[in-house]
Amino acid sequence: MKNPYEVLGVSENATDEEIKSAYKALAKKYHPDNYVDSPLADLANEKMKEINEAYDTITDMRKNGGAANSSGYSSGSSNSYAGYGYSGNSQFRSIRMLINSGKIQDAERMLNNIPQSQRNAEWFFLNGMVMMNKGWSEQAYSCFRQAYTMDPNNPEYRAAFNRMNSQRAYGPGGYDQRGGAGCSCCDICVGLWCADTCCSCMGGNCC
């Protein structure tokens, strides 16, 4: 097994606080939500497990062999991403199973064989999953949007659509770069402050 300190990227002399924040930063990075529709979901899961174990080992060691600490983030939700939705149609159920086990091409073939008239919200959702796994995120986006429009009350479709939107709105690391003519809260404050300074420097104290 790897050295748990190395896994978290901290030194062995690090304080509990440092270890906790290192763990939190990593957990945020590997969080299953970032990889739900990604073909790398299982790998992210592995990583998550690794840091959970490392964190638990360290806390246990520091407590001198206390009871197993399991304050870790859950890492189990990502693997069942296409598995939890209820599916009345047996064909869709087997397509979900194919996607879950990574047989994307087979899933795609089955989806394409379903006639146009039977393509409901679930069809679009599953097709979105397939497209996302292929890396075709534009097709995936329009599929998820379609699924959401056809059945806005379904939490699964809504979640998928929202995930796509957040990836599209923000760059990695939450770096806002929609750019252009933005006017943030800060801009307004600075603007007011400048105006105030100008006013008072001319003698009149207008604001």
Partner 1 sequence: MFGYVQIEKSELLVKEYETYKSIYCTLCKTLGKEYSVFSRFILSYDFTFFAALSMGVHDEKVCFKKGRCTFNPLKKCVFCGVENEDMKKAAALSVITAFYKLKDDINDGGLGKKLRSYLVYPFFARWRKKAAKKYPEYEEAVSNMSEMQEQVEKDPMCHIDMAAEPTAKMLASVMQLQGSDDFEKRVFFELGYHLGRWIYFIDAVDDLQKDKKRGCFNPFLKLSDYEDGKEKEESFRQYCSEVLNQSMCLSYNAYNLIDIKRFKGIIDNIYLKGLPVVQRKVLFGKGEFNNEESL
Shortest Cβ distance from residue 167 to partner 1 (Å)?
A: 5
- For residues 69 and 50, what is the distance between their CA atoms, to the nearest angstrom? 15
Among 64, 86, 138, 207, binds partner 1 (CB under 8 A): 138
Residue 191 lies near partner 1 (rule: CB under 8 A): no
Residue 18 lies near partner 1 (rule: CB under 8 A): no
Nearer to partner 1, 170 or 193 (CB): 170
Shortest Cβ distance from residue 120 to partner 1 (Å)?
A: 22
Phi-psi region of 65 (alpha: psi -120 to 50; beta: other; left: phi over 0): left
- For residues 128 and 159, what is the distance between their CA atoms, to the nearest angstrom? 13
* Nearest C-alpha neighbor of 81 from the set 143, 16, 163, 188: 163
Among 141, 148, 157, 161, binds partner 1 (CB under 8 A): 141
CA 185 vs CA 176, 197, 207: distances in Å: 14, 18, 19
- Please list the alpha-helical segments (H only) found in the chain: 4-8, 16-29, 41-62, 90-100, 104-113, 121-134, 137-150, 155-169, 185-201
CA 130 vs CA 7, 81, 199: distances in Å: 33, 12, 60
- Residues 36-95 within binding reach of partner 1 (CB under 8 A): 38-40, 43-44, 46-47
Which range, of 84-92, 120-128, 162-170, 195-203, touches partner 1 by CB under 8 A? 162-170
Nearer to partner 1, 17 or 138 (CB): 138
Shortest Cβ distance from residue 70 to partner 1 (Å)?
A: 23
Residue 175 lies near partner 1 (rule: CB under 8 A): yes
Among 111, 126, 143, 164, binds partner 1 (CB under 8 A): 164
Footprint of partner 1 on this chain (CB under 8 A)? Answer: 29-30, 34-35, 38-40, 43-44, 46-47, 131, 135-139, 141, 164, 167-173, 175, 177-180
